Amino acid sequence: MDFETITYHAADGVGHLRLNRPGGANAVSEQFAQDLRMVMIAIEFDDSVRAVSVTAEGKVFCAGGDLKEFHSKRAGLPQHGAKLLGDFHSAIYKMNRMPKPFVAGVRGAAGGAGLSLVGAFDLVVSGESSKYTMAYTRAGMTPDGTSSYFVGRHIGLRRMLDLTLTNRVLDAETAEQWGLVNRVVHDDEVDAATAALAAELAAGAPFATGHAKQVIYNGFDHPLETAGEFEGTMITTAMGTADGQEGIASFVEKRAPNWTGR
């Protein structure tokens, strides 16, 4: 599968998505947004993919929106922005809604829309020297990329306001303490650690792993009773699957489970 700004292939249950605009700091351009939406559609309909590893080529994970491209649009920038965000946000919606975990590995900086993208992944592995910043108001812009939804939930309202209004830069250690990333590794271990974590998730029970993700996000979005009812629906559905029966049997029989995806 060929794209202009990313590369993608699937192997052994894992989709390997790599941002590939190193000369442009992997910034979000119109083409990047289109490519991201199209690869999410491909992942969504590929039943062989059970988890996805997302890394980036070059020294920067994603510098944010492509401001050079934006500058070239002049008076046409609002229309350009609307088209770009239509694809970019659609890609993030699909990523969040599909029952497959996405693991990101961040080396270098993640700023602006890059930080928004980091916030939308399910799990994040960070390099020890990585930096994180919102940077929107520095360019006279307001946040996008679903950062107001995801990043705010990860770190809390006060910290989100701090990042957004002051453009504070977080180092990897602070990002982990704040809950923006899950774990920090040596810079040269990021790609391998990300792929290994995605492989670990892909090796689990597909229905349980993917729909557990949906249960957690649903619980953040709904009142107590609604969240509880959705939990009940999901776990009883899991109980009726072959993998659900196998998971319980393997635990009782003290053996490794044999997941079939059914």
Give the integer Cα–Cα distance in Å for 108 and 187. 8
Kindly tell me if the per-residue pLDDT of 21 is higher than 80: yes
CB 181 within 8 A of CB 124: yes
**Banded model confidence at residue 142, pLDDT cuts 50, 70, 90:** very high
Give the integer Cα–Cα distance in Å for 181 and 98. 21
The whole-number average pLDDT for the span 55-71 is 97
What pTM value is reported for the model? 0.95
**Banded model confidence at residue 164, pLDDT cuts 50, 70, 90:** very high
Alpha-helical regions (H) of 98-223: 113-120, 147-155, 157-166, 172-178, 190-202, 206-221
The two structure tokens encoding residue 258: 């044999």
Strands (E), 20-94: 51-56
Kindly tell me if the per-residue pLDDT of 1 is higher than 80: no
Amino acid at 185: V
The domains of the chain, with CATH numbers, are: 6-202 (3.90.226.10), 206-252 (1.10.12)
Kindly tell me if the per-residue pLDDT of 116 is higher than 80: yes
